[in-house]
Amino acid sequence: MEFAAMRAIVAHQPHDLRIEEWPDAAAPGPGEVRVRVARGGICGSDLHYYHHAGFGTVRLKEPMILGHEVAGRVMDVGVGVSDFAADDPVAINPGMPCNDCHFCRKGQRNQCLDMSFFGSAMRFPHMQGLFRDEVTVPAEQLYKVPQCLDLGLAACAEPFAVCLHAVASAGSLLGAKVLVSGCGPIGNLVLAAARHAGAREIVAVDIADAALTVAGKLGADSTINLTKTPDGLAPFADRKGLFDAVFECSGAPKALAAALDVVRPGGALVTVGLGGDISLPLNLVVTKEILMRGSFRFDAEFGLAVHLIATGAVDLTPLISATMPAADADAAFRLASDRSQSMKVQLAFA
């Protein structure tokens, strides 16, 4: 049987990324909107599926469309939808909490026990992703942006929401001295969020000059390449630590140990980067009374991210290092894997 087809970028196995024909998105039902995808950002989780077919216990069990950082334009709307019309530019929130479980009812929807998330293999059948020409979603997942806004910037709303959530978890940063450890896309977006939150001074550390160059453009007051200057953080360990807040975005054991040395007594250490099991110098956590917490995904911060980007309150342009045609997806994923050449690589659809 013949059917109308759209392009989709589908992961099968490690380094087996295919551009396939999939059925067009369904006509929108009541409360739904069909969107033509315009831009999609390649995330670290997409790269894990590309290189390893998953991460941890999450593995591909069937072919899956990748992608969850996207923006596009409305094609048509279903019955009962009045907030959107054809050609409206929108950012898509990829997370769909159940709104009924214990955590959703407590206002912790990012911890939902039955979360649906585009481009995730946590469920089976997998939740197909958004790297496709079009998709139909509930209207409540869409956020309108100005017609003049670069849709590549609108597609940054999802990772920026992650970072707004992390920065909020540290408490007030007004006038604070802040360290951002690990300046990949998430670290640099944390930096931008911390600057917007009123940090007085931000120091960024990484092991790559290219990442630190972007950090400087996004608001870092100073940068340290720890490959070139291994003891670059040593002066900040003076008087039990000089940073009011540290955001550890690399997930590296050495980076966490260094963070504990330089955060002040009573300061906040927020772990954003994912990593494996590591040893923890518990004596430092106890004696310095460090407020240590993790940060995972986002909830209401998605709307705030869209607002800050749309109004120009933050300029995330330096984050986008390349935009490539969706037809060149494999090359785009290879470029996104090379930290010496890229920060955030995006795909351009129709």
Q: What is the pLDDT of residues 204-235, one digit of tens each?
A: 999 999 999 999 999 999 999 999 999 999 99
143 is written with which tokens? 């956020």
pLDDT bucket at 279, cuts 50 / 70 / 90? confident
pLDDT of 56 above 90: no
CA distances from 240 to 145, 222, 267 (A): 45, 21, 11
pLDDT value at position 280?
87
Across the chain, mean pLDDT equals 95
- Write out the residue limits of the CATH 3.40.50.720 domain(s) in the chain: 163-294
Bridge partner residues of 246 (DSSP): 179, 269
Average pLDDT over residues 1-8: 66
Q: What is the pLDDT of residues 57-95, one digit of tens each?
A: 899 999 999 999 999 999 999 999 999 999 999 999 999
Cα 184–Cα 305–Cα 266 angle in degrees, nearest 5: 65
pLDDT value at position 1?
31
- Write out the residue limits of the CATH 3.90.180.10 domain(s) in the chain: 5-156+316-348
pLDDT of 185 above 60: yes
pLDDT value at position 286?
93
pTM score of the predicted model:
0.95
Question: DSSP 3-state assignment of 306?
Answer: helix
pLDDT value at position 145?
98
* 253: enclosing H helix or E strand: helix 253-262
Q: Report whether CATH 3.40.50.150 matches the domain 163-294.
A: no
pLDDT bucket at 350, cuts 50 / 70 / 90? confident
Least confident among 217-226, 262-271, 282-291: 282-291
Q: Report whether CATH 3.30.160.70 matches the domain 5-156+316-348.
A: no
pLDDT value at position 277?
83
Identify whether the C-beta of residue 19 lies closer than 8 Å to the C-beta of residue 8.
yes
Identify whether the C-beta of residue 291 lies closer than 8 Å to the C-beta of residue 246.
no
d(CA 184, CA 89): 27
* 263: enclosing H helix or E strand: strand 263-271
d(CA 324, CA 41): 10
pLDDT value at position 4?
55
